[in-house]
Amino acid sequence: MQKILAYPLTFLYMIFFGLCLLVFHPIQWVCFNVFGYNAHRMSVALLNLSLMRCTHVLGTTYTFNNPHSIPTDRPLIIVPNHQSMHDIPPIIWFMRKHHPKFVSKKELGRGIPSVSYNLRHGGSVLIDRNDSRQALSEIAKLGRYIEKHNRSAVIFPEGTRSRTGHPKPFKATGLKLLMKNAPSALVVPISINNSWKMLKYGKFPNGIGNHITFQVHKPIEVNSNFDSILSEAEKKVISGITAFKAEND
């Protein structure tokens, strides 16, 4: 019965989602080209708040728990697990004062209103997953960018999203490269739960009635022991997933 109800609700959601992308595309263009970086950044934050609101049609709710006073005057490397595209708008909105920028696959840099424009012009980097040299060069560039401007890089170290909610092993290269190029950064692990249920039926329909949670863990200082930081970040992310499952099973 729930899946049957999901079909009309997903159709309605997709209409609202598409309208948001179309409406905010020219808004972003004006903000970026006329008013500059800060106006564009706020337009992107409001876009992602609107995209979250669209999911309310599906009965989706969010909890973003960040009990830490994370400074805004130094760079961050935000390290979440990855379950679906619905991981991204809450990170952009709730972490907006930290100016989050993403490591994204190059295919997202064209053809998607609003999303592609922001990825090309907002400070994120687009990587070719079939060209390791290009990918590493772009990630290093992002590290230098956040170090210079005290902004945040968001990288999903699993590489691809988990379709079941079970975390995948972290891949070290990209995260280590960010740390090398942003030595004054804090690493901020985030555990995401239930986002995968939005796609539990596949691309259509979306899952309905889901409560997606984000648990921000205590930041980790970057030092020369990159392996230790990677291990600690991975353990924190997994602990947040394990605790959530224990509470909700």
pLDDT in tens, 65-87: 999 999 999 999 999 999 999 99
In angstroms, rounded to a whole number, what is the distance separating the alpha carbons of residues 113 and 202? 23
pLDDT at position 249: 67
Q: Is 168 left (phi over 0), alpha (psi -120 to 50) or beta?
A: beta
In angstroms, rounded to a whole number, what is the distance separating the alpha carbons of residues 17 and 63? 21
Residue in 176, 159, 155, 164 with CA at minimum distance from that of residue 230: 176
In angstroms, rounded to a whole number, what is the distance separating the alpha carbons of residues 200 and 163? 7
Count other Cβ atoms within 10 Å, centred on residue 42. Answer: 13
Mean pLDDT of 38-44: 97
For the record, the structure tokens of 88 come out as: 């991204």
For the record, the structure tokens of 174 come out as: 């990209």
Is residue 166 pLDDT above 90, yes or no?
no
Mean pLDDT of 94-105: 94
Higher-scoring residue by pLDDT: 224, 134: 134
Q: Which residues contact 148 (CB under 8 A, 6 or more apart)?
A: none
HSE-CB for 143 with a 13 A CA cutoff: 22
Q: Is the preceding omega at residue 80 within 30 degrees of 0, hence cis? A: no
pLDDT at position 205: 94
Q: Is 202 left (phi over 0), alpha (psi -120 to 50) or beta?
A: left
Give the DSSP H/E element, type plus range, for residue 188.
strand 186-193
In angstroms, rounded to a whole number, what is the distance separating the alpha carbons of residues 124 and 37? 13
In angstroms, rounded to a whole number, what is the distance separating the alpha carbons of residues 69 and 21? 32
Mean pLDDT of 55-62: 97
Q: Which of 12-26, 54-68, 125-139, 183-197 has the lowest mean pLDDT?
A: 125-139
HSE-CB for 100 with a 13 A CA cutoff: 25
Q: With beta carbons less than 8 A apart as the criterion, state whether 198 and 86 touch.
A: yes
pLDDT at position 159: 74
**If you average pLDDT over every residue of the chain, what do you get?**
93
Burial bucket for residue 93 (CB in 10 Å: 0-12, 13-18, 19+): buried
Give the three-state DSSP class for 208: coil
**Model confidence pLDDT, tens digit, residues 3-18:** 889 999 999 999 999 9
Give the three-state DSSP class for 174: helix
Is residue 1 pLDDT above 80, yes or no?
no
Q: Is the pTM of this model over 0.75?
A: yes
Is residue 164 pLDDT above 80, yes or no?
no
